[in-house]
């Protein structure tokens, strides 16, 4: 892809593009071999990942949420069992089940399937976030899920990211990244942020934007809880941690450039190391 921002790119096109993403860099941080294998053997999304995508959609693009999901009505019959489907003389109950689900699956082919309760809860969470007193000013106008492409100026490698929400407030360019969590408080969320690489991702995203459409003046992480009462916290990453993130992803990007140049994709270093009990287990 040419450097710039694309407004109407599908997920299929985005993920098929070979530009390096933050997720790619995380895999390279494990080993080049793990990255190569993952690219050659892509995994299907897990149910939890699909639910997370659905919740994300409800927060950022509620206007298209219902069109992109197959909603199972609260009074829907149970899906027919294998014996019911195979029966030569199905009961009236079985026929009703088969008819309902054949029609439902046909109408909702290609859509993410969720229950009526899930749809209501996700849209409720989305509404609470967009109307939050500290966030509503950012959601007054803006664009969601924009794919941004650039070229890393050091290694010359094409890179990409997908910004959750881009907006302007009083001429300031602002990027919001939405992160669902069990506990949005600073202590627990800091552990999640480290575990899932949010610090490095924040650096990478801002750098990709700088190389393409201009660095945002403000980059905020919105941590929101998935269970009532749906607490929300807003975080900004300090410059020192941005520099650490740049060092980390930069090393992985340099590794990728070397692997491409040499067509070698090494696994773990097998030098013998000392394996010691962790400090908390020595008492």
Query: With 0-12 CB in 10 A as exposed, 13-18 as middle and 19+ as buried, what is 150?
Result: buried
What are 207's two structure tokens? 């750098």
In angstroms, the CA 205 to CA 77 distance is 45
What local confidence, expressed as pLDDT, does residue 109 receive? 95
- Report whether pLDDT(1) > 90: no
Closest among 147, 143, 215, 142 to 6, alpha carbons compared: 147
What local confidence, expressed as pLDDT, does residue 11 receive? 87
Domain around 18: 4-256
Residues 170/218, Cβ–Cβ less than 8 Å: no
> Is 73 inside any structural domain?
yes
Beta bridge partners of 114: 71
48-57, 130-139, 153-162: least confident range: 48-57
- C-alpha of 75 from chain center: 32
In angstroms, the CA 76 to CA 92 distance is 16
Phi-psi region of 53 (alpha: psi -120 to 50; beta: other; left: phi over 0): alpha
Q: What is the CATH number of the domain that holds 239?
A: 3.90.320.10
> Is 275 inside any structural domain?
no
Question: How does DSSP classify residue 44?
Answer: P
> Is 279 inside any structural domain?
no
Task: Please tell me the number of Cα atoms within 13 Å of 248 on its side-chain side.
Answer: 22
What local confidence, expressed as pLDDT, does residue 145 receive? 94
Residues 127/185, Cβ–Cβ less than 8 Å: no
In angstroms, the CA 205 to CA 159 distance is 10
Residues 233/185, Cβ–Cβ less than 8 Å: yes
What local confidence, expressed as pLDDT, does residue 281 receive? 87
Residue pointed to by tokens 């040419």:
2
What local confidence, expressed as pLDDT, does residue 282 receive? 78
> Is 27 inside any structural domain?
yes
Calculate mean pLDDT across residues 5-17. 90
User: Could you report the per-residue pLDDT of 196-234, keeping only the tens digit for each?
Assistant: 999 999 999 999 999 999 999 999 999 999 999 999 999
Question: How large is the greatest C-alpha to C-alpha distance in the chain, in angstroms?
Answer: 70
What percentage of the chain carries pLDDT values higher than 70?
A: 100
User: Could you report the per-residue pLDDT of 137-173, keeping only the tens digit for each?
Assistant: 999 999 999 999 999 999 999 999 999 999 999 999 9
> Is 60 inside any structural domain?
yes
Residues 179/224, Cβ–Cβ less than 8 Å: yes
Count how many domains the chain has: 1
Residues 148/209, Cβ–Cβ less than 8 Å: yes
Confidence of residue 117 (pLDDT cuts 50, 70, 90): very high
> Is 212 inside any structural domain?
yes
What local confidence, expressed as pLDDT, does residue 44 receive? 87
> Is 124 inside any structural domain?
yes
Calculate mean pLDDT across residues 60-64. 95
> Is 278 inside any structural domain?
no
């Amino acid at each position: 892809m040419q450097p710039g921002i694309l407004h109407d790119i599908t997920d299929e096109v985005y993920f098929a593009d070979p530009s390096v993403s933050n997720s790619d860099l995380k895999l390279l941080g494990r080993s080049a071999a793990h990255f190569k294998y993952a690219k050659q053997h892509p995994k299907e999304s897990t149910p939890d990942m699909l639910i997370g995508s659905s919740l994300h959609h409800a927060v950022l693009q509620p206007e298209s949420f219902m069109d992109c999901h197959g909603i199972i009505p609260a009074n829907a019959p149970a899906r027919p069992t294998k014996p019911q489907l195979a029966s030569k003389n199905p009961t009236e109950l079985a026929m009703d089940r088969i008819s309902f689900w054949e029609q439902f699956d046909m109408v909702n082919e290609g859509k993410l399937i969720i229950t009526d309760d899930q749809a209501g809860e996700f849209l409720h969470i989305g509404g609470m976030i967009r109307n939050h007193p500290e966030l509503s000013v950012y959601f007054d106008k803006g664009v969601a899920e924009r794919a941004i492409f650039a070229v890393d100026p050091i290694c010359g490698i094409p890179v990409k990211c997908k910004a959750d929400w881009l907006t302007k407030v009083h001429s300031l360019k602002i990027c919001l990244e939405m992160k669902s969590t069990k506990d949005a408080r600073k202590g627990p969320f800091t552990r999640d942020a480290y575990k899932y690489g949010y610090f490095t991702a924040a650096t990478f995203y801002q750098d990709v934007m700088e190389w393409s459409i201009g660095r945002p003046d403000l980059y905020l992480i919105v941590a929101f809880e998935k269970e009532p009462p749906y607490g929300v916290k807003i975080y900004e990453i300090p410059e020192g941690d941005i520099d650490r993130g740049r060092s980390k992803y930069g090393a992985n990007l340099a590794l990728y450039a070397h692997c491409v140049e040499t067509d070698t994709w090494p696994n773990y270093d097998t030098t013998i190391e000392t394996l010691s009990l962790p400090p908390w287990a020595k008492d």
